[in-house]
Structures are given as structure tokens and as C-alpha cells.
Structure 1
């Protein structure tokens, strides 16, 4: 991967719907070599896909909470049961198995604090193997930097 590939990735991260002609102009290539590079980046798995960024508040998910989950035990059956159950919850948008004070860090998106309280009490705390949940309510999200 060279500087041109990194430039292509930076532009695509900002605008995944940019036309190949505009992308080529932005990175200083003609359209054909640019398209070949993009296809190579896709085929090698560097570019894993394209998606729409949806405004969470517009679809009733205006509150983002990060939940640190500790499991009672770390046996294969407990871990498998927890992972299957948590990935089935539509409110959980990302699940990370981590090291440190928690076993999992979940990103949860719900309408508001009342909805999170209900989700926490009736769904999250009842998942298989959960010993404790620590919640962190997001006040603001800053934009990510490109490559």
C-alpha cells in the first residue's frame, strides 16, 4: 500500500459514493488506474464494504450508551451463550470482547434514558452469564479522523 492507496482510502472514508472520475481527480490519477486500485483494495479486503451512515436520532436511537459487561465465569458454554444472546439484541450496535476490567464493551443505541433503563433492567442484565454491567452515557461524539 502506497501514498496513493492511502489517499484513495481517505477520500472514500469521507464519501463512499464519490464517482470514480471525481475520486481519480482528487488523488491525482486518471480514471482507469484509479478504478484498478479501488478494485484491488476491495479484492484484498482492505475495503470491506460501503454503507450509509444513518442519523441515530432520526430512527429513534438518540441515546448512545457504552456498557461494560463482566461475566460470572469464562467457560466456553457461558461465553457462547452470552455472545449468541447479545448479538441478537437490536439495541446493541457493536460488541467488543476486550481485556481489562470488563469482558465485553457494548455500544447500545436507544431512544432515551428511560428506554435504556428498561433495556438494562429487562434485557441486558438478564443475558446468560452476566455478573455486572457498568454503563457510560455518551454526552457528545466527536468526528473520527481519516487514515
Structure 2
């Protein structure tokens, strides 16, 4: 096949990004006439075998993990083959460096992802150490740049002088911008003195914290694994099994918990609640992550301060 020249390559690249782009638009982007574009496309199809096809993007899995795995000496291939054979695992990469394996896996829910990680990675034979992270969104080179959704929150937070004001502002932004019916924001330790919430009863906050200390409920899992956790319906999700009665009495269904970090240090959590069952959405998780990142940027200024100091 003859080698494509610069114009052919540019036309091919434009059609690869958008197969519905008109010849006139291609001509405008390449600086040649529409007739030339039409001739080049016909030649690319007839001579070079180019095909412009239609595809439907499959829905992204509700929960995706990337896990770095350090294995016991001599167990690299054994562990890799064990994990690669599991239906949840998409890919296992053998690597050099501190971790011998990189595992990418997909799940129907965060509950399934957490169970997989604990049972087959943390407790898995031959695994010495691991580090996991949730995939929030996949961005390709063709993705358009997005405006900063929380620029105003960032500006307002910069002028705030106390932790209570900052957490109150985060609660207001979460309910107004993200559609949450209720919200809980914590800074630092699991102590009501460093928290603010909207739409939740004090009884719920106190009891869920007590359950977390004694039963290892879902909130401590966010802190332990430094990952977001999503539940379409907390009233039926096994993650909330030890607190089902409490959740039902409070009346919410959808739930999303996100760690709030500043650099490598975790500074707190933000949890959103919906009164109805909701579906997992990558854009929602990304937006909550943006809010958490912006909040984490400002929390270090109030280290050691509680909401009852002022």
C-alpha cells in the first residue's frame, strides 16, 4: 500500500475523531478545497481500504479498580495467572519496579469491588503488599477540556476564616450543585466536633460513627482504602448491612462517599445522600471528586481546629 502523505493522514485523523464530519468542514480544517477532500476520501477508501464505521459505546462498568501488587518471592507468575483467570479481571500486567503486577478489574458495584480487593488481593495467596485505586473517569486525547465547575467555591473558600464556615460552604455547594438531598462533610478524625451535615439527624451521625468504631462499617473503609464508595441503594446494600435499620429509619437510598485529600494526606470525607435509588454515573463521581479536591486544598489552613472552637 502506498504511504499516506500529510494531507491523507490529516483527513484520516479527522474522520477517526468524527466519522460524520462533512467534506466542507474537513476542507476548512485542512486548507484545501471540498473537491480535493472528496477526491482524497474516495482514494483512501478505494486504494487504501479506509472504512468509516458507526459504533455504540458500551456503558462503562459501575466500578473499576487498578491495583498495584507486590508478590512474595517466586510467586509473580502464580499470582498473575490466578488473578488473570478471574472473570472480574480485565488485564494483568507484569512490570518492573516496586510492584511486580498491575491489575485492572471491573465490577457491577463498589460493594463487589471492595469484596474482590479484600478477599482476592489483600487476603490472596502469594500477595505481600498492594495498593489500589478507583478509576473515576477515562479521558482520551479527543476529550474536550472542561471548565472548573467549582471555581466559585474555591474563591469563596479562600476568603473564609474558620473551619465551620468552610464545611458549611462545602455542604451548601454539594446540595446545590450536585443534586444531593443530604450531605455530611468531615475534617480529620471521626468526631462530630469536626463535622457539618445537612438533612441528617444528629442521632444518625452519632450512631453511624459508633458503628464504624465497633463494627468496621462503610465509612472507615473509605478512610482505610482512600477510595470512593458508591451505593445505589444503601437500604439493601451489604456494605450497610450492620446499619440497615438505621439507614431505613433515616430514609435515604443512594449514597456516595469520597475521601478528601491534600497531597498524599487524607484530610476527611464527604458523603452525599439521595432519597431515591440512583444509578452510578461517571460524571457524578468526577464532580464529587472535584469538590473533594477543592475542599482538600483549603483544609490544611484549619488543621487542629474543630467546629466547636468558635
TM-score category of the 2 structures, normalised to the smaller one: 0.5 to 0.7
Q: Aligned match of 2:137 in 122, 129, 141? A: 141
The Cα of 1:69 is off from its aligned counterpart by 0.7
Correspondence for 2:80: 83
Q: Secondary structure at the match of 2:48?
A: helix
Change (3 A) 1:113 1:2: same
The Cα of 1:72 is off from its aligned counterpart by 0.8
**How many residue pairs are counted as aligned between the two chains?**
123
Correspondence for 2:110: 113
- The answer for unaligned runs of 5 or more in structure 2 is 28-36, 143-310
Query: What do you get for the CA RMSD once the two structures are aligned?
Result: 3.3
The 5 A counterparts of 1:44-83 are: 53-56=57-60, 61-73=61-73, 75=74, 78-83=75-80
| TM-score, normalised by the number of residues in structure 2 | 0.33
- Aligned partners of 1:10, 1:103: CA distance in 2, in Å? 39
Correspondence for 1:8: 12
Q: Aligned match of 1:37 in 39, 43, 48? A: 48
Q: Secondary structure at the match of 1:101?
A: coil
The Cα of 1:85 is off from its aligned counterpart by 1.9
Greater relative contact order, per chain length (Cα 8 Å cut-off, separation 6+)? 1
The 5 A counterparts of 1:83-102 are: 83-102=80-99
User: Do the aligned partners of 1:96 and 1:106 also contact (CA within 8 Å) in 2?
Assistant: yes
Whichever of the two has the greater Rg, that structure is: 2
- The answer for unaligned runs of 5 or more in structure 1 is 40-49
User: Do the aligned partners of 2:69 and 2:102 also contact (CA within 8 Å) in 1?
Assistant: yes
- Aligned partners of 1:90, 1:69: CA distance in 2, in Å? 18
User: Do the aligned partners of 1:86 and 1:127 also contact (CA within 8 Å) in 2?
Assistant: no
The Cα of 1:126 is off from its aligned counterpart by 5.5
- Aligned partners of 2:12, 2:104: CA distance in 1, in Å? 29
